[in-house]
A and B are shown apart, each in its own frame.
Chain A
Amino acid sequence: MSFSDALAGAGAKPAGKRPYFLEPQVERVLAITMSIAQELAVVRQRNDTLERLLLSKGVLTQGEIDAYVPDRGASAERQMWNQEFIARILRIVQQENEAVTTSHDVASGDVGEELARDG
Chain B
Amino acid sequence: MRKAVISSSDTPSPAGETPVANDPSAGYEGPPDYRVIGRHAVFPQTSHDEIERINFLAQMNRHLAARVVPGVKAAFDTRVVPAFEAQHGRAMADRHEARRALLEDPAFQTWSALRRMTMEQRQQAGRWTALRQREQLNAVAHALTEGDQRLSLDPSLPIPRYVSAVDHHCMPGSYHSEYFPGDVVNGANYDHGGFVTTGGLLGKYSDGGGHAVVKWVRRNLPDFKPQKILEIGGTVGHSSLPLAQAFPEAEMTIVDLGAPVLRYGLARAKSLGVDNISFVQASGEDLSIYPDASFDWIQTTMFLHELSTKALRAIFAETRRLLKPGGIVLHVEQPQYAPDMPLFEQAMRDWDAFYNNEPFWSRMHEMDLDAEMVAAGFDADKLIHGGVTGVVDRELFPDAEEDDTEDYGRKAAWHVIGAVA
Contacts and interface: CB of A to CB of B under 8 A. Distances in A.
Contact of B56 (A15, A20, A42): A42
Contacts of A41: 52, 55-56
Interface stretch (B161-169, B286-294, B326-334, B364-372): B161-169
A34 B122 CA distance: 12
Given A42-B49, A45-B55, A62-B7, A9 B179 contact: yes
Interface in A60-98: 62
9 contacts: A6-B134, A9-B127, A9-B131, A11-B127, A15-B357, A21-B110, A30-B114, A37-B56, A46-B48
A34 B52 contact: no
Contacts of A27: 113
A55 interface: yes
B176 to A, nearest CB: 11
Interface of A: 1, 3, 5-7, 9-16, 18-22, 27, 30-31, 34-35, 37-38, 41-42, 45-46, 49, 52-53, 55-56, 62
Nearest to A56: B8
Given A9-B131, A49-B48, A22 B166 contact: no
B171 A21 contact: no
A35 B179 contact: no
Interface in B305-363: 354-355, 357
Contacts of B415: none
B120 to A, nearest CB: 7
A45 B116 CA distance: 24
A35 to B, nearest CB: 6
Given A1-B131, A9-B179, A21-B109, A35 B121 contact: yes
Nearest to A33: B117
A16 B165 contact: yes
B283 interface: no
A34 B5 CA distance: 29
Interface in B78-130: 103, 108-110, 112-114, 116-118, 120-121, 123-125, 127-128
Contacts of B48: 45-46, 49
B40 interface: no
Contacts of B135: 1
A30 B166 contact: no
Nearest to A27: B113
Nearest to B357: A16
B149 interface: no
Contacts of A13: 172
Contacts of A35: 121
B9 A62 contact: yes
Given A15-B172, A22-B113, 10 more contacts: A9-B179, A11-B124, A14-B123, A14-B172, A14-B173, A16-B357, A22-B110, A31-B120, A35-B121, A62-B7
Contacts of B127: 9-12
A62 B384 CA distance: 59
A3 B172 CA distance: 18
A5 B185 CA distance: 13
B109 A22 contact: yes
B165 A15 contact: yes
B215 interface: no
Contacts of A53: 8
Contacts of A18: 116
Given A10-B128, A42-B53, A30 B113 contact: yes
Contacts of A12: 127, 172-173
A57 B6 CA distance: 16
B230 interface: no
Nearest to B134: A1
B241 interface: no
Contact of A45 (B52, B125, B165): B52
Contacts of B67: none
